[in-house]
Amino acid sequence: MHYGFNYFLFNMAFADLLIALFNVGTSWTYNLYYDWWYGDLCTLTSFFGIAPTTVSVCSMMALSWDRCQAVVNPLQKRPLSRKRSVIAILVIWVVSTVTALPFAIAASVNSFYTYDVVTSTVSKTHVCSAPVNTFFEKVLFGIQYALPIIILGSTFTRIAVAFRATNEATDSSLKNNHTRAKSKAVKMLFLMVVAFVVCWLPYHIYHAFALEEFFDPAHGKYAYLLIYWIAMSSCAYNPIIYCFANERFRIGFRYVFRWIPVIDCKKEQYEYSQLFPDKMRSMAISLQKGRVNSSCLDKKVKENSSQGNRNSTCFIPFSSFQIWFIV
């Protein structure tokens, strides 16, 4: 997995963390009690309810396009190098910020007073709302859901066709590790896309068709709370998908939380893992050299004892290249 892919995975994980910290933590109490308790954080909550979601969606589109190019055109240069990935991530954050700004600017906290006839008391509630033009809501729906479905559907269709053609033309026993790595990365990305589409579908249908009018006022807030939590839960599924589909993520996770007694991950295991392929390669070569020298030495001793001193050649195949030692 090349570095650009990891950059986008980190970007999506960071966006999910922002949603959990600055949106979910305050919105669930408001949706449940319909009373805003957090004052001026209304603007921040409105912003981080839209910008990180847009970042995750755009990152998935960029990753699907990159995977599509790697599978369909494997001999061409990777479109998302490290430098291009950083530039693309910066552009995604700028677009996401611009998309969320109208809602953040329009966000405000208003106070409402209600009089209870039975108890003869007046109660005060605060409402955090971001009334914007319906045009911005339609644009948001297009950017966050409609456009991603079109692009992701197109890229994964091309990937599926390319993999099918490869499977028909190549024997399964001849597939190399690089092809398997591509397949695993595509499957992981596909699971992330499915989780996003399924979780956010009820939320966008609710707002696109104004379904709040069809719910009973006494139960409407509970229905919306359920729909809202299903949508927000999408950010909780991605780490689980990373863990089961990405071995490098599992290694890094174990190393970060190695201080927990039930997790065993030594520093040597981390440094010579798949996260550092150069170290793995050098260690393998060193071990192979040690085996070759030992084998050649034993062979030379036997030959000297039986036939006298003469040069001998030791040949050991290693991976895709061969090591020759003349003793």
State the Cα–Cα distance between residues 210 and 143, nearest whole angstrom: 19
Residue 21 neighbours by CB distance under 10 Å = 12
Q: Which CATH number fits domain 3-256: 3.40.50.620, 3.40.50.300, 1.20.1070.10, 1.25.40.10?
A: 1.20.1070.10
- Whole-number pLDDT of residue 275: 60
How confident is the model over 62-86, as a mean pLDDT? 81
Determine the angle formed by the axes of helices 41-48 and 51-72, rounding to 10 degrees: 20
Q: Could you report the per-residue pLDDT of 23-39, keeping only the tens digit for each?
A: 888 888 887 788 889 88
Helix, strand or coil, per DSSP, at residue 292: helix
Question: Which residues share a beta bridge with 126?
Answer: 111
Q: Is the pLDDT of residue 271 over 70?
A: no
Q: What angle do CA 247, 231, 23 make, to 5 degrees?
A: 95
Amino acid 94: pLDDT:
95
Residue 187 predicted with pLDDT over 70: yes
Q: What's the confidence (pLDDT) of residue 48?
A: 92
Neighbours of 86 (CB within 10 A): 15
pLDDT band at 96 (very low <50, low <70, confident <90, very high): very high
pLDDT tens figures, 213-238: 777 766 777 888 888 888 888 877 87
Residue 294, pLDDT above cutoff 80: no
139-151 tens-digit pLDDT: 888 888 889 889 9
Mean pLDDT, all residues of the chain: 75
pLDDT at residue 173 greater than cutoff 80: no
State the Cα–Cα distance between residues 202 and 89, nearest whole angstrom. 28
How far is residue 42's CA from residue 29's CA, in Å, rounded to a whole number?
Answer: 13
Q: What is the pLDDT of residue 310?
A: 41
The tens digit of pLDDT for each residue in 194-217 reads 888 888 888 888 877 777 777 776
Mean pLDDT of 56-61: 90
Least confident of 63-67, 76-80, 161-165, 191-195: 76-80
**Cα–Cα distance between 160 and 172 in angstroms, integer?**
16
What's CA 292's distance to the chain center, in Å? Answer: 43
Which residues does residue 321 pair with via DSSP β-bridges, in sequence order?
Answer: 318
Domain range summary for the chain, segments of one domain joined by +: 3-256, 289-326
| 204 touches 145 (CB < 8 A) | yes
- pLDDT band of residue 318 (cuts 50, 70, 90) is very low
Cβ–Cβ under 8 Å, residues 205 and 211:
yes
Q: What is the percentage of the chain residues whose pLDDT exceeds 90?
A: 9
Residue 95, pLDDT > 90, answer: yes
Mean pLDDT, rounded, for 34-63: 90
